[in-house]
Amino acid sequence: MSAPTDYVTARQRFRDVTERLGWICHRYPVATSPNGDLTIDVAMSSARSADGVLVVSSGLHGIEGAFGSAVQAACLERWASGPGLPAGVRCVFLHALNPYGFANSRRADADNVDLNRNFLGGNAPYAGSTDGYRRFDPLLNPRSAPSPWDLFYLRGMWHIARHGRPALKQALITGQNDFPKGLFFGGNAPSPTLKILQQHMRAWIGAAQHVAHLDFHTGLGASGAHTLLIDHPLGARQREMLVRWFGSGSFEEHSPKGVAYQARGSFGQWCIAQNFAPDYLFAFAEFGTYGNLSVLSGLRAENQAHHWGRPDDPATIRAKRRLRDLFYPESDAWRSRTLADGIDLVERAGRGLVDTSPA
CATH number of the domain at 192, please. Answer: 3.40.630.10
How does pLDDT run across 140-169, given as a tens digit for each residue?
999 998 887 787 878 778 777 777 777 777
User: What is the number of domains present in the chain?
Assistant: 1
Put simply, whether the predicted model's pTM sits higher than 0.85 gets the answer yes
Q: What pLDDT was estimated at residue 255? A: 59
Q: How far apart are the first and last CA of the chain?
A: 36
Asked if the structure places residue 299 within a domain, the reply is: no
Output 56 or 122, whichever has higher pLDDT: 56
Q: Distance between CA atoms of 144 and 132, rounded to whole angstroms?
A: 22
Structural domain contains residue 1: no
Whether residue 298 is contained in a domain is answered as no
Q: Which residues form the domain of 224? A: 7-121+184-293+324-356
Q: What rounded mean pLDDT belongs to the chain?
A: 91
pLDDT bucket at 258, cuts 50 / 70 / 90 = low
DSSP 244-311: HHH-TTSEEE--TTSS----TT-HHHHHHHTTSSSEEEEEEEEEE-S-HHHHHHHHHHHHHHHHHS-T
Q: Do residues 285 and 342 touch, judged by C-beta distance below 8 A?
A: yes
Average pLDDT over residues 62-75: 98
Does any domain span residue 319?
no
109/62 Cα distance (integer angstroms)? 7
| DSSP state at residue 235 | P
pLDDT > 70? residue 60: yes
Closest CA to 176 of 223, 125, 129, 246: 129
In a domain, 166, yes or no: no
Asked whether 94 and 42 are in contact (CB, 8 A), the reply is yes
Average pLDDT over residues 323-338: 97
Report residue 359's pLDDT band, with 50, 70 and 90 as the boundaries. very low
- Whether 284 maps to a domain, the answer reads yes
Tell me, yes or no, whether 65 lies in a domain.
yes
| Residue 39, pLDDT above cutoff 60 | yes
Task: Look at residue 303 and tell me if it is in a domain.
Answer: no
